[in-house]
């Protein structure tokens, strides 16, 4: 019993310790790492990734997985750019309408994901991967391969207007992190995610509509991907069919490294935050200490394996596919 | 249930119907030279799909195939000058070893294969970027023709790629039908727990399946690099989706156990015909990805063995 307890405690705190160790490590190698300017840089890079990670956290807590984020982000980013331009191309005018519309679109894509997964009874990783391809395809179709610029000063203010050294988009990401935390801890839906992840049969037997919880989870994730898409567009000032590329790898890595167990039921949005920061610090730190940036994917890949290994209780798992 | 009896025959019926539809609307499509050219062009994709077949046959998945092929195009371009023909051995060995690593992580460390292969894919991508210096590389034309020119010519109108594909199919068929390894893979795919209970060293065979998948992805990358006379860390992007589609529409379900090499041959031909017909019906190339994404969902839904999935996660 004590062994189990200590193991759980370790798993719970290990990600945070890793994060602290990384910060100390990079600061020791290059003191400029530990500065407000650099933290702001990490925060800007991490804000969209955080939204994606939070979205997929809900899914992973349910024991499923969502690999559709690249397609969903590309499609919603492109859709946002087009709708924004359609309504005058300025946040001061009618352009703000694009924001709720795109959030609804993200939710709808997620809903479709969930329905394909649940109704056709296809494992979620494959259903969402396929839907992700469809999303990217739709984004290519909309843009014809072109880049759509969004240069409205008020909208780009999300990046340019700073408050205590951090741009507005960081605060927006923080706000939605709290919304996610609220959903996770203070709503029936949040409890239901854990119920499904902890044991689907049991949840079903206690009268929970598991199908509905799953589909809602995917829709909720879709909304968060759409928020991420808007933040990405604000950061780089353009949208195209590859806007979402690499988010799959980074967000899954973050969530898993942050301590959300792939088997479901364990972890939450705070783990996603710690995970995103670990990935962000590694990305940034490698550049700061002068390592080429292409090492990241390899390092993150190994990190994922280590994280999954650490979070898996071997006695509970008989075999994996 | 008629549909159940029909199911194993659906892939080739689909193929015949598709060929008939396209051939009927465009008689030029059925010219032998056109068909041969079409088949020749799809060979790198086919080889990757062939490898994926092994991973999917045992109920896993290999999402690293594309990154592996990318990495090999870079390795081949960088080391052709210094290693000559031995670079081919080096490439295949690299694919085999990285595949083994995926298999090891999956079976011994209990990491689900879609995550472990995604992670190993990240490693392969890093290696490709490191070796290439994040640039597109070109092979020396003379040296390429001397060393690997035999891979891409034509003899009596038959593209050499097709001969390579035929040899690989023969080898894979032999493994599947005539070796203990093939039997063991079938047992693992049909029911892993039962296979383990009957004393099979499941982990070893699964590792081998992923290694074969990696090696074939490497061969696909090598052929692709020779065809394009160069390599880059993202050059083979766009292969993974059609390769998975080829395996699944061929009739090897995501749950494994049935299907196999011959199914993937049929599946790849279906993908080739869909591609060609999209060109003919003037469906924009930009829509291909959407079409294949939807085809993928339909194919999985039709083939997956739901009796094996107690809960669908």
Contact call for B105 and A294, based on CB within 8 A: no
Q: What is the pLDDT of residue B1?
A: 52
Residue A320 lies in a domain: no
Contact call for B313 and A301, based on CB within 8 A: no
Residue B13 lies in a domain: no
pLDDT band at A38 (very low <50, low <70, confident <90, very high): very high
Q: What is the pLDDT of residue B312?
A: 64
Contact call for B304 and A122, based on CB within 8 A: yes
Phi (first) and psi of residue A92, to 5 degrees: -65, -35
Contact indicator for A233, A77 with CB cutoff of 8 Å: yes
Residue B72 predicted with pLDDT over 70: yes
Residue carrying the six token digits 């092979």: B139
Closest CA to A196 of A186, A207, A187: A207
Supply the mean pLDDT for chain A.
Answer: 88
Residue B129 lies in a domain: yes
Containing structural domain, residue B117:
37-237
Residue B259 zone, left/alpha/beta (φ > 0; ψ -120 to 50; rest): left
Structure tokens at B210: 């992923």
pLDDT tens per residue, range A214-262: 999 999 999 999 999 999 999 999 999 888 888 988 898 899 889 888 8
- Indicate the residue of B192, B287, B309 with minimum beta-carbon distance to A137: B287
Q: What is the pLDDT of residue A96?
A: 87
Containing structural domain, residue A283:
13-312
pLDDT tens per residue, range B114-129: 888 988 998 998 899 8
Residue B178 lies in a domain: yes
Residue B109 lies in a domain: yes
* B66 in A contact zone (CB under 8 Å): no
Contact call for B286 and A131, based on CB within 8 A: no
Alpha carbon B210 to its chain centroid, in Å, reads 12
* A100 in B contact zone (CB under 8 Å): no
pLDDT tens per residue, range A147-183: 998 888 888 888 888 888 899 999 999 999 999 999 9
Give, in order, the Cα–Cα distances in Å from B252 to each of A191, A238, B19, B58, B161.
Answer: 38, 41, 21, 10, 24
pLDDT band at A185 (very low <50, low <70, confident <90, very high): very high
* A305 in B contact zone (CB under 8 Å): yes
Mutation choice for B interface testing from A56, A129, A249, A314 by most B CBs within 10 A:
A129
Neighbours of A222 (CB within 10 A): 27
Phi (first) and psi of residue B137, to 5 degrees: -110, 150
* B300 in A contact zone (CB under 8 Å): yes
Q: How many residues does chain A have?
A: 321
Contact indicator for A154, B313 with CB cutoff of 8 Å: no
Contact call for A64 and B313, based on CB within 8 A: yes
Q: From the CA of B33, how many Å to the nearest CA of chain A?
A: 31
Residue B7 lies in a domain: no
For residue A138, the chain B residues in CB contact (below 8 A) are 290
Residues B109, B112, B115, B116: what is their CA dihedral angle, to the nearest 10 degrees? 40
Q: What is the pLDDT of residue A224?
A: 97
Mutation choice for A interface testing from B101, B105, B110, B124 by most A CBs within 10 A:
B110
What mean pLDDT comes out for the span B266-276?
89
Segment holding B137, helix H or strand E: strand B137-138
pLDDT band at A317 (very low <50, low <70, confident <90, very high): low
pLDDT band at A77 (very low <50, low <70, confident <90, very high): very high
pLDDT band at A1 (very low <50, low <70, confident <90, very high): very low
Q: What is the pLDDT of residue B36?
A: 86
Question: Tell me, what CATH number does A219's domain have?
Answer: 1.10.3470
pLDDT tens per residue, range B193-233: 888 888 888 899 999 999 999 999 999 999 999 988 888 88
What mean pLDDT comes out for the span B221-247?
88
* B234 in A contact zone (CB under 8 Å): no
What mean pLDDT comes out for the span A79-94?
86
Residue A206 lies in a domain: yes
Give, in order, the Cα–Cα distances in Å from B153 to each of A5, A39, B81, B142.
Answer: 65, 56, 21, 15
The winner for highest mean pLDDT among A102-111, A193-202, A299-308, B238-247 is: A102-111
Residue B70 lies in a domain: yes
Number of domains in chain B: 1
Cα separation, A155 vs B264, in Å, equals: 50
Residue A129 lies in a domain: yes
Residue A4 lies in a domain: no
Residue B298 lies in a domain: no
Contact call for A298 and B60, based on CB within 8 A: no
ipTM exceeds 0.85, yes or no: no
Residue B272 lies in a domain: no
Cα separation, B34 vs B36, in Å, equals: 5
Alpha carbon B280 to its chain centroid, in Å, reads 25
* B114 in A contact zone (CB under 8 Å): yes
Residue A1 lies in a domain: no
Number of domains in chain A: 1
Q: What is the pLDDT of residue B291?
A: 83
* A321 in B contact zone (CB under 8 Å): yes
CA terminus-to-terminus distance, chain A: 29
- CA nearest A64 in B: which residue? B313
Q: What is the pLDDT of residue B143?
A: 81
Cβ contacts below 8 Å, chain A against chain B, sum to 157
Q: From the CA of B151, how many Å to the nearest CA of chain A?
A: 32
């Amino acid at each position: 019993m004590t062994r189990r307890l200590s193991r759980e405690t370790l798993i719970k705190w290990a990600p945070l310790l890793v994060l602290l160790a990384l910060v100390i490590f990079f600061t020791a190698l290059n003191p400029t790492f530990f500065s407000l300017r650099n933290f702001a840089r990490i925060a800007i890079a991490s804000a969209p990734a955080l939204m994606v990670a939070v979205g997929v956290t809900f899914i992973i807590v349910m024991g499923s997985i969502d690999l559709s984020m690249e397609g969903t982000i590309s499609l919603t980013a492109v859709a946002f750019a087009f709708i924004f331009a359609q309504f005058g191309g300025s946040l001061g005018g009618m352009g703000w309408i694009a924001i709720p519309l795109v959030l609804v679109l993200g939710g709808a894509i997620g809903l479709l994901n969930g329905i394909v997964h649940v109704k056709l009874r296809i494992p979620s990783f494959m259903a969402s991967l396929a839907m992700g391809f469809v999303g990217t395809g739709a984004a290519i179709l909309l843009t014809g391969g072109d880049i759509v610029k969004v240069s409205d000063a008020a909208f780009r203010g999300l990046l340019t207007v700073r408050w205590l050294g951090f741009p507005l988009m960081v605060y927006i990401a923080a706000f939605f992190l709290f919304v996610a935390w609220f959903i996770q801890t203070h709503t029936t839906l949040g409890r239901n995610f854990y119920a499904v992840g902890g044991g689907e049969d049991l949840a079903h037997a206690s009268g929970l509509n598991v199908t509905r919880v799953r589909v809602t989870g995917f829709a909720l994730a879709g909304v968060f991907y759409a928020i991420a898409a808007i933040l990405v567009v604000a950061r780089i000032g353009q949208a195209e069919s590859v806007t979402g590329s690499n988010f799959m790898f980074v967000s899954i890595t973050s969530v898993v490294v942050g301590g959300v167990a792939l088997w479901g039921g364990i972890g939450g949005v705070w783990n996603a935050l710690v995970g995103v920061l670990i990935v962000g610090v590694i990305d940034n730190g490698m550049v700061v200490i002068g390592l080429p940036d292409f090492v990241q994917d390899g390092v993150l890949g190994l990190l994922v394996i280590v994280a999954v290994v650490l979070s898996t209780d071997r006695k509970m798992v008989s075999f994996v596919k | 249930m008629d549909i159940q009896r029909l199911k194993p025959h659906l892939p080739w019926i689909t193929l015949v119907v598709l060929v008939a539809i396209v051939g009927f609307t465009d008689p030029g499509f059925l010219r032998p030279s056109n068909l041969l050219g079409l088949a020749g062009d799809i060979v790198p994709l086919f080889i990757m799909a062939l490898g994926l077949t092994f991973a999917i046959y045992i109920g896993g998945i290999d999402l690293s195939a594309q990154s592996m092929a990318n990495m090999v195009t870079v390795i081949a371009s960088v080391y052709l000058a210094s290693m000559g023909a031995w670079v081919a051995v080096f490439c295949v060995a690299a694919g085999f070893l990285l595949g083994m690593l995926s298999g090891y992580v999956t079976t011994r460390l209990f990491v689900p294969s879609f995550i472990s292969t995604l992670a190993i894919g990240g490693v392969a991508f890093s290696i490709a970027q490191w070796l290439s210096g994040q640039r597109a590389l070109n092979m020396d034309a003379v040296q390429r023709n001397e060393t690997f020119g035999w891979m891409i010519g034509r003899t009596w109108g038959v593209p050499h790629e097709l001969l390579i594909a035929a040899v690989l199919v023969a080898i894979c068929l032999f493994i599947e039908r005539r070796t203990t390894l093939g039997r063991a893979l079938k047992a693992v795919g049909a029911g892993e727990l039962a296979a383990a209970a009957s004393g099979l060293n499941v982990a070893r065979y699964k590792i081998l399946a992923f290694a074969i998948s990696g090696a074939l992805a490497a061969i696909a990358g090598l052929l692709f690099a020779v065809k394009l006379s160069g390599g880059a860390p993202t050059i083979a992007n766009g292969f993974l989706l059609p390769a998975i589609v080829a395996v699944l529409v061929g009739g090897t379900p995501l749950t494994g156990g049935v299907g196999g090499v011959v199914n993937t041959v049929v599946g790849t031909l279906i993908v080739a015909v869909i591609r060609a017909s999209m060109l003919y019906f003037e469906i924009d190339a930009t829509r291909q990805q959407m079409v294949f994404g939807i085809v993928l969902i339909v194919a999985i839904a039709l083939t997956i063995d739901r009796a094996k999935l107690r809960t669908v996660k």
